[in-house]
Structure 1
């Protein structure tokens, strides 16, 4: 055999030899060791597909004409505050629900009575239904500027309710006590501030309110009798002036 034939014979088995199967328990090549691609989690895929961006959900709820959908959302328990993203999303969407006139009135009253969130209460404070605005006026989580605005409401029940809210500023209380359209019951409340009610109230400010009550044409005789014995001299003098008139 020539050297050339010997070389060809030596090379042939190498090229044609089958690659042996890896033995059990023996690592394969690096490519063989790589784990196969994971199948997509059908639950995660569905969740991603169903997720709606906040702005899209907000606009959908704001324009929804489905009272049942809106009612369900209004009554839905809020996420725990520890989940800040979910909590912020839910409270933001409640603003859309609160501002939608297709949300049932009883649900808007519910939100106005129970929600502490300014963005929701501001929406409801301009609601066309007086019952909703009155619920906002009674909400003790109101900001003082918001409840103060409701002391100017054209509906007496809303205005009077706002004047009784502890969040109302003394300036608003004084203006309410001077308003000849305020009813007797509300004047009885205002005339008790700093004495029977809110005993720790600022003496000067509360006496100014009680003095204005004494001079209000709607004040009751029963309240005048109480104010006649008021610890503040200026209030007692106002009662005397009123009775002389």
Structure 2
């Protein structure tokens, strides 16, 4: 299946959200392949509105297109979180607000966790290193309140990186980093976001090679 850049996928979802389309999870009954085709009602209508249109869903690299309205709504929340974390449309506060009050972001490879106001630091840090950062979504699986995504983090190294050995100056190199994201939602909000980033590949793309010789000599 051909991957599709996430900024293309999510732009319409975010615009729809800003226009007042419902993002809250709906009923969980089984849906047909045309899930989400309910007519968009005017503001003030009590009828449930679709979180994503069939056309938007068709553009996504989904592993299963038989999603319930609840699953489609959860997916819309995740896509919007990606959208506001992109370099060109960065809104760190909006990213943080997509989480529950006790929500947590776990950088599983780095062994770091962020909650509360610390969630704002997550997209700001990446955009500081890679101002044009974006995510290329390659495979999306939605299972109830869990959204699992295989993707690549891409961008240009244009911000300094503080390291134990000193400051690594930006060199304009391009990164293309394999990543796996697991989003766990509750009542239309992100309760937990586990992110697995291929840091070895990222550092290699930035021109950093691990010093195996020092590790061997030190042992």
Indicate the structure with greater strand content: 2
Indicate the structure with greater helix content: 1
What TM-score range do you get, normalising by the shorter chain?
under 0.3
Q: Which has the larger Rg?
A: 1
Q: TM-score, normalised by structure 2?
A: 0.26
